[in-house]
Amino acid sequence: MGGRPKPAINYEKAYIEMCKNSWEEDYTKLHQHLLETKQNKFVVYDCRGRGGWGSHIRNLLTSFHFAVISKRAFINECFTPIALDVYLKPRHIRWNYRVNHIGLTERRSFDFKREHVKNYSDAKPYEEMLTYDIEYSPHFMSFGHLVLPNLIKYNYKKSTFPFHMNGCNFYYLFKKSDPLQKRLDEWKEELGFNDNIVLAIHIRHGDAIFAGHFNQWDVRLNGTKDYDFCFECAEKIEKKIGEKYQTKKIIWFLAVDIDWMRTYAKKKYGNKVRHITGPIEHIGRSTKGKEDAGQFTMFLDYFLLQESDYRLYTSESSFDTAVDYITFGRNSAGRVHLEKDKRTCSFPITLLH
């Protein structure tokens, strides 16, 4: 075959080509105007106490949508475990603007309920609902993804719309820092991303494995039978890749939340298993002294999962959804289902066509 089946997707270029939404330029001007004229109309997202990166990006983007709809400046106050703008820089708006809170009114919680919706295409009531200078993280009661697209009026109309929408917004808000991009490029070269077809395998054990055991019931994989079934599914997908592209140049990129899984996989499947090094940390419960390195490792895994040719998810995880956002959908992702009475291996849609 002589390399990859196709050039790795340039998501920066895809953002420019696919996210041609008329509201972006208008909101960029509005955001800048609100800051320059000190009108004190903010929607602020605060990361504290809100889980890991998967939860953060979902809730952060929902708050951003609400800021666009309500004509307020979106501000991101994510300073734990490390300030977000160390690794992700502002692209079009100054979401890392430091708000002077002195003398301003604040509302820390605002639950947006279905009965608040009178007209799904009228944004004015949403603007009128926010009466404080600073509105923190408006919370939608499980239906924000149904309401907000109609109000922002995206141009994109395909069936993958929700993921495309969030992907567009991610690239509107963020760009990788130079140190993050440099290390990402180095890892891609070292792991063999540039010369092989990459099947990424994301194994999420659950929050209970991290320090503090803040969700002791969250155990998503249970024992070697589950692990082996995940890897057996990966072997089936690898075989299909080889048949489709007539190649054996296929590697597995392993992203896991527990270190011994790296050793387990490499011992069983050899050098085709590749992974990065660095401390594995839950950014919501980071270990003292490892906050910076742990968050850096998380972002490297995040973007390497994005740049893999195919992905295999092995348990339900909001981190998977966060990866789907920045890849504009889940068509290149398969999934293992580990229910006791129904264990299945689903192939990526794009591999079957």
Provide the pLDDT confidence category of residue 161 given band limits of 50, 70 and 90.
low
Do residues 79 and 98 make contact, with C-beta atoms less than 8 angstroms apart?
Answer: no
pLDDT of residue 216: 47
Range from 62-66, 208-212, 274-278, 286-290 that averages highest in pLDDT:
274-278
Compute the distance between CA of residue 182 and CA of residue 179 in angstroms, rounded to an integer: 5
Distances (CA, A) of 38 to 25, 30, 33, 34: 20, 12, 8, 6
Do residues 212 and 287 make contact, with C-beta atoms less than 8 angstroms apart?
Answer: no
> In percent, how much of the chain has pLDDT > 90?
45
pLDDT of residue 286: 72
* Helical axes 11-18 vs 161-173, angle rounded to 10°: 110
Is pLDDT above 50 for 100?
yes
pLDDT of residue 14: 78
Q: Which residue has the higher pLDDT, 4 or 344?
A: 344
Handedness of CA 155, 158, 164, 165 (dihedral sign): positive
Count other Cβ atoms within 10 Å, centred on residue 181.
13
- Per-residue pLDDT tens over the stretch 188-212: 999 999 889 999 999 887 666 555 5
Distances (CA, A) of 121 to 77, 78, 88, 115, 196: 30, 31, 32, 15, 47
Q: Which residue has the higher pLDDT, 3 or 79?
A: 79
Task: Give the closest residue to 85 by CA, choosing from 207, 220, 223, 178.
Answer: 178
Provide the pLDDT confidence category of residue 334 given band limits of 50, 70 and 90.
very high
Tell me what the mean pLDDT of segment 306-331 comes to. Answer: 89
- Tell me phi and psi for residue 46, to 5 degrees: -115, 125
pLDDT of residue 271: 94
Q: Which domains does the chain have, with CATH numbers?
A: 11-176 (no CATH), 178-351 (3.40.50.11350)
- Per-residue pLDDT tens over the stretch 281-313: 777 677 788 778 889 999 999 999 999 999 999
Average pLDDT, the chain: 84
Pairing state between β 197-203 and 250-256: parallel
Instruction: Classify residue 319 by burial, with Cβ atoms within 10 Å: 0-12, 13-18, 19+.
Output: buried
